[in-house]
Structure 1
Amino acid sequence: MLPARPGLVVFDLDGTLVDSAPDIAQAVDIMLGRLGLPEAGEVRVRGWVGNGVEMLVKRALTGAVRPAGEPPRFREALAWFMDAYAEHMCDRSRLYPGVRDGLARIKAGGFPTACVTNKHSRFTQTLLEQLGLAPYLDFVGSGDQFAQHKPHPEPLLKTAAHFGIAPAQSLMVGDSANDAEAAHRAGFMLALVPYGYHGAVDLAALEPDVVVKSIAELPGLFEAL
């Protein structure tokens, strides 16, 4: 259970609010095709999402989860990915069940809300607007707007400071080890969802305060505190 009623609720985007992997995978495969390389496919790309666009492209070019250095033609590939994803980012991306209802109820309950993602700002706001989530979020922080990406705590700490709310009174809601590490290092409470892009990671090992089946469960938890 959560140790306290949160004063701020911060959501991850990809894998938590939105299943964006189909469109990300399509853009990756378009990029690889322009380079004369074989397609990666959605299953592999799902395992590469979560550390920002530059890391995604490096993983696609090398096939490595932790690529070393900058692979050949990286800058060219990055530009092609950015253009392809801008064109296709809302083709097949969908909200996870319970997201809209949960966000609406949290917002109606008077809780400040934010989305903090490693996704580039070129895409974040458009995706949130196209999927109808922008009205439920008071603040949006993208990967290129911070000096560090999650799992570094800086994005969460700066978001809490923006609202003037102590980290210990803030809740991070995510799906991955990146979200969990960022929350723990920032001193946030942590809620995880069992879907998303965490792969084979055991959620219990990430030490969340609570695991919720959907975002729609959160308002009930808050009301009980």
Structure 2
Amino acid sequence: TNDGSYEEEGAVLHVDTRTSVWPVRDKNYDAHLHDIIQPLNCKETLLQALSTELQNATSTLLCTNLEAKVVDLVTCRIAAIFQSLVHQDHLQCKARKVAFWRQVMMHPCWPTYVSVPRLLHTPIQLVVFDKDGTLINCETVFGPWLEQLVSGMQGLLPMTCKSQCLWNALGYDKETQTFEASSVIPRGTYDDIREFLTEWIINASLEKSQDPKEVWSQVVARWTAPELRREHIAPCADLQALFASLQARNIQTAVCTSDDRPDTLKTLEWLGIRPATVRCGDDNLSSKPSPEPLWDICHELGINPAAAVMVGDTISDIKAGRHARFGRVVGVLTGGYATPQFDEADIVCDTVADILNIV
């Protein structure tokens, strides 16, 4: 309110901070992280250092009467640790960040961090969209590709297993070419899908002594990326009108997807939309539900997460928005989830077109 107090609405606190800037950087802390993390190449030593920094960063969460403003400091500290985990090697960089994210999720204070009511800064300055299932129909893209991919893996699949067992595990109905809401195919990165196939082949095989690395290498050798075709791209709404309306309101847009960058940029080009920035599954970032890609977007644009809205069709999207402490987290029903499965979302809409009624 005008006197500086907060007005609570459910799990979100409203505060008018039109001049808010994010992130609040502490140069001394950045230098400290650089000094202790950069020299560490041993995985075990690095993880121990990260554990110590995470413990220090979250120490304020042990206080009573926590306010959202106190948690903002924790947010900036965790985001700074993510940014410090750079490495010249792409795989090493991503592995470091994934390992740190796992530490964050397992930390005893993490549920407290997530449960503290989030601030909503007004006016809203940024809307971040997921891509597959949110902006476009994912089934027209991934259905034909998955059938081709599995066909090419026949030599790896256990002879004792019927193909229907794999389709069920993948959450795919071959007859209708539709995915279950929990399917890894439209939700995960390519690495997630390869890991899923590797684990399924090992678990379904009678030869329990199979070397996971060998099975992984064979899956990778047979892997084919989706052949992106313009006729397969079916938007879930009039996206050009939506993005133009947001721009007219001085609201920036971004896309955060698990898909790889080349296909993502080509899809956005075909859709005729130009978000301010894009984060993809093959970037040097941990993937949703980690908050890192959302924080990275806010860092580039200089926007406080509390002044941003996350829009997605999966539970991972919703959790990423909550973990990043976005001001609003919106679920859309175009990806196959039912409304009750979005119980952690602030708002549930039929399609992304309804976002204009929220911002």
Q: Distance in 1 between matches of 2:305 and 2:322?
A: 10
Tell me, yes or no, if the aligned pair for 1:21 and 1:93 is still in contact at 8 Å.
no
Q: Distance in 1 between matches of 2:200 and 2:332?
A: 27
Deviations 1:83-141 (A, max 9, x none): xx1x34434220003433222211222211100111111211011112222x3x11111
In structure 2, the partner of 1:74 is 219
Which residue type is aligned with residue 239 of structure 2? Answer: V
Deviation at 1:170, TM superposition (A): 1.0
Which residue type is aligned with residue 125 of structure 1? Answer: L
Deviations 1:60-98 (A, max 9, x none): 56659xx9x6644221133x2x1xx1x344342200034
When residues 44 and 127 of structure 1 are mapped into structure 2, their CA distance, relative to the original with a 3 A threshold, is same
In structure 1, the partner of 2:254 is 114
Q: Is the aligned partner of 1:158 residue 2:158?
A: no
Which residue type is aligned with residue 192 of structure 1? Answer: G
In structure 1, the partner of 2:22 is none
Q: Distance in 1 between matches of 2:356 and 2:178?
A: 32
When residues 119 and 98 of structure 1 are mapped into structure 2, their CA distance, relative to the original with a 3 A threshold, is same
When residues 214 and 43 of structure 1 are mapped into structure 2, their CA distance, relative to the original with a 3 A threshold, is closer
Q: Is the aligned partner of 1:34 residue 2:179?
A: no
Which residue type is aligned with residue 121 of structure 1? Answer: R
In structure 1, the partner of 2:58 is none
Which residue type is aligned with residue 187 of structure 2? Answer: G
Deviation at 1:221, TM superposition (A): 2.5
Tell me, yes or no, if the aligned pair for 1:146 and 1:154 is still in contact at 8 Å.
no
Tell me, yes or no, if the aligned pair for 1:103 and 1:216 is still in contact at 8 Å.
no
Deviations 1:45-69 (A, max 9, x none): 76222121121244356659xx9x6
Bigger mean CA offset, 14-23 vs 28-37: 28-37
In structure 1, the partner of 2:265 is 125
In terms of Rg, which structure is larger? 2
Q: Secondary structure at the match of 2:334?
A: coil
In structure 2, the partner of 1:179 is 317
Q: Distance in 2 between matches of 1:128 and 1:217?
A: 20
Give structure 2 stretches of 5+ with no counterpart. 1-8, 13-119, 158-162, 168-173, 205-211
When residues 204 and 119 of structure 1 are mapped into structure 2, their CA distance, relative to the original with a 3 A threshold, is closer
Which residue type is aligned with residue 109 of structure 1? Answer: R
In structure 2, the partner of 1:17 is 135
Which residue type is aligned with residue 211 of structure 1? Answer: V
In structure 2, the partner of 1:216 is 353
Q: Secondary structure at the match of 1:191?
A: strand
Q: Distance in 2 between matches of 1:45 and 1:192?
A: 16
Q: How do 1:43-54 and structure 2 match up within 5 A?
A: 43-44=178-179, 47-48=183-184, 49-54=186-191
TM-score, normalising length: structure 2: 0.53
Deviations 1:165-187 (A, max 9, x none): 11111111111110111111110
Tell me, yes or no, if the aligned pair for 1:116 and 1:141 is still in contact at 8 Å.
yes
TM-score, normalising length: structure 1: 0.81
In structure 2, the partner of 1:6 is 124
In structure 1, the partner of 2:239 is 99
Structure number with the bigger relative contact order (C-alpha 8 A, sep ≥ 6) is 1
What is the RMSD of the two structures over their aligned residues, measured on CA atoms? 2.7
Q: Distance in 1 between matches of 2:357 and 2:336?
A: 25
Give structure 1 stretches of 5+ with no counterpart. none
Tell me, yes or no, if the aligned pair for 1:160 and 1:167 is still in contact at 8 Å.
yes
